[in-house]
Each structure stands twice: as C-alpha cells, then as structure tokens.
Structure 1
Amino acid sequence: MTVRVMLISPTMNAALREARFDGDSPLDRSGRERARAAAGTVPAAGLALSGPSVRCRETAEALGLAAARAEPALAGWDLARWAGRRLDEVAAAEAAEVAAWLGDPAAAPHGGESLSDLIGRTGAWLDSLHGPDASSASFLAVAETAVVRAAVVHGLRLPPEAFWRLDVAPLTLTELSGRSGRWNVGLGRPLTAPPAG
C-alpha cells in the first residue's frame, strides 16, 4: 500500500520571530489570520494529526483541522535547558556547546535529544505508518519545522548533517509518499489563499 504523509509547518508566532529554541507559545494575531486564510487550501486526508505544541494545535485549529489528534511522536525537538532561550543568547554564553551541537549529530549539550535522536524518533513514526496495523493510507499533520526536516532526512536517507541545509517556511506543505520504507518527497508548497478574483 502506498502511504501519503503530508506535513504542514505551523504558522508564525512571537517565539519563532525571536529565534527562540522551542518557543512553544500561542499564535499571534498575524499568524492566526494567515492560517485562517489558508484553511481552504489544506488537502484532504484519511487521518489528521497535530504535534502536541500549542503552536501546532492552534495552527491546526485555524486551518480547520480542529479534530486533529495530538500525536506525541510529532513533538518538537527536545532541547531541554535551552528551551525558550534565544539562539544568540545561548551562542554567546555557550559557544563551544553550540558548536558541538551543530557539528556532531550525536551531541546533546543541552541535555535533551541529539539530532540523531530526533531523526530516529521521527523516522520510527514515519515507518510505523506502513504495515498491517496502519490506520490509513493518507495522513495530514501539523508538525514543528524540526520534525518536518527530520522526516525529509529520514525519508531520503540523507546524512544527518543535511538537516541543517533544509529550510522549512511557515505554513508550507511537505509531502512524503511511498511504500515499504521507500519515500519520495515533495518540498515546501505554500498554503496560501487563492488570489481574489
């Protein structure tokens, strides 16, 4: 059976604008309005899911996916003691630790998940969608950008370092489709409202 997994990155919020690690805060008015405007462009799927963060759940709701089930495997990257802090602050205070984190996929100087752990967790979820216990052939999930990037790295069997080279813009759709663990990827289609006629 071919499985189709459509991942939507959440819309902007204040924490994302401030480049905060895992800044799980509610959507701001602008982000909510952008998501509502894109609601009519969301593709249909057999099962709608959402990462458990406030930002993912509120984006799903604004997109018209209020019934999306929270999926723990789609949780954002666990950055432990860096969570909520700005990247520039952490880099100034812990330059060697940030360099290790960026250069070694197994490093977790923050005390949370390493990049390899994130990719492994996301890949295990993705691969679980195949098989006799699969509940659907198509999935739509609002997932944190780090999870979307990790899914692409896993799906295409890229080296972990490729994660840092993938940009995922807010409110874009990344699609993985395949069977038996072999994935094809469609990257970053914007979810935007059609132009006014």
Structure 2
Amino acid sequence: MTSRVLLVSPAIGASLRQARFDDGGPLDAGGAARVRAAAGGLPAVARVFVSPGARCRETAAALGLEGVPVPELAGLDVGRWTGRTLEEVGAAEPEAVGRWLADPGCAPHGGESVRDLCARVAARLEGLRRLEGRTLAVVEPEVVRAAAVTALDLPDTAFWRLDVPPLTVTELSGRAGRWNLRLGRPLAASDDDRTLG
C-alpha cells in the first residue's frame, strides 16, 4: 500500500509579512485573495487535517476544505518570542538566538526545540502512513520542514536550510517503510500540474 500525504502551506498573514514569530493572527487581505484564487487546485482526498493556527484554518476554509484540527500538527512553539520579530529578539537576546539557530535541541525561548517539533511531526507521519487514500493537511511551514527532514532522514540541522513558500504543496508518498518527497509546487498550478498521481 502506498500512502500519500499532501502538505499545503497557508497563505500569508501580517506576522509573516513583518517577519514576526507567528502570533496566531489571521490571514491578511492579500493572503486571503491569493488563497481564494487558488481554490480548486487540489485533487480529491480521503481526509483533511489542519494545524490549529488561524492562518491554516482560514486557508483550509477558503480552499473549501473542512479539516479536522490536529494539535500534533501545530507550528513550532517559540514561547516568549511569539509575536516579536527576529530582529527584536536578536537585539535583546543575541546569544540565545545564535544558540537556537545552531542547535536544534535548544529552546531558549521557553517553548519547543526544533528537534522536539521534528519528533512530534515524525510520530504523526508514522500514523498517516497506515491510512489508505490521500491525506491533505494545511500546516505551518515549519511543519512542512519537519516532515521533509523526517521523510529524507536528514539531520535536524537541515531544518533551517529548507524554505517553504506560502500556498505550496509538498507531497509525501510512503511505501515499504520509507517516504519519497515531491517538493513545493505552487497551489495555483496550471491544469497540467494538478494531477499528483
């Protein structure tokens, strides 16, 4: 049996435009317009999950999807840095930011480490591997990064070297105890690109 998981990154919101750690804010007008324009660009799926964050829930709704919120697919918890820009945090806590970016096991903000996020997402992917049919999940970019690290059995230090643009689809297909990865095609692809096999 081959498992297929489509990971859709949400449209942009004010936090992302301002380079802020996600504060749970909604999509902005531009992001909402882009996701509405992309509606209809996804194949049929057996089930839909969503990260509990506002951007993911709103993206799923604008795509016409009714998804089940899954706490294990939440974005990275950055503790007391939530809502602040990396520049602000870097000015106030330069050593902490340096450690955080260099050591995936470090969580100086009091939240969750990158390593913990990768482990959480890996556990959820293992559960999805046993489901028949195609699964779609609208998740934060850091969840897509963690899934890619897991799928390719990369060291967790690779996490920060992966970019996940808004409104892209990353596909995982699993068989025989391993995942294959098809990276980030735009959600608003041409009709020829919409069939994901």
TM-score (norm 1): 0.93
What is the percentage of aligned positions where both structures have the same residue? 57
Q: Which residue of 2 aligns with 1:155?
A: 151
Q: Secondary structure at the match of 1:23?
A: coil
Contact 2:129 2:174 in 1 (8 A): no
The Cα shift of 1:180 comes to: 4.3
Contact 1:130 1:180 in 2 (8 A): no
Query: How many corresponding residue pairs?
Result: 191
- The runs of at least 4 consecutive aligned structure 1 residues that moved more than 2 Å come to none
Contact 1:49 1:141 in 2 (8 A): yes
Deviates more, 1:79-88 or 1:176-185: 176-185
Contact 1:90 1:98 in 2 (8 A): yes
For residues 23-38 of structure 1, the aligned pairs below 5 Å read 23-38=23-38
Q: Deviations over 1:110-169 (max 9, x none)?
A: 0111110000000000011133xx3x4310010000000000001100011111111000
Letter matched to residue 80 of structure 1: G
For 1:182 and 1:193, how far apart are their aligned partners in 2? 27
Q: Secondary structure at the match of 1:152?
A: helix
For 2:177 and 2:53, how far apart are their aligned partners in 1? 27
Q: Within the alignment, does 1:53 sit opposite 2:53 as a pair?
A: yes
Q: Within the alignment, does 1:106 sit opposite 2:105 as a pair?
A: yes
Q: Within the alignment, does 1:185 sit opposite 2:181 as a pair?
A: yes
Q: Which residue of 1 aligns with 2:120?
A: 121
* Structure 2: runs of 5 or more not aligned: 192-197
Q: Within the alignment, does 1:87 sit opposite 2:86 as a pair?
A: yes
* Structure 1: runs of 5 or more not aligned: none
The Cα shift of 1:194 comes to: 4.5
Q: Secondary structure at the match of 2:145?
A: helix
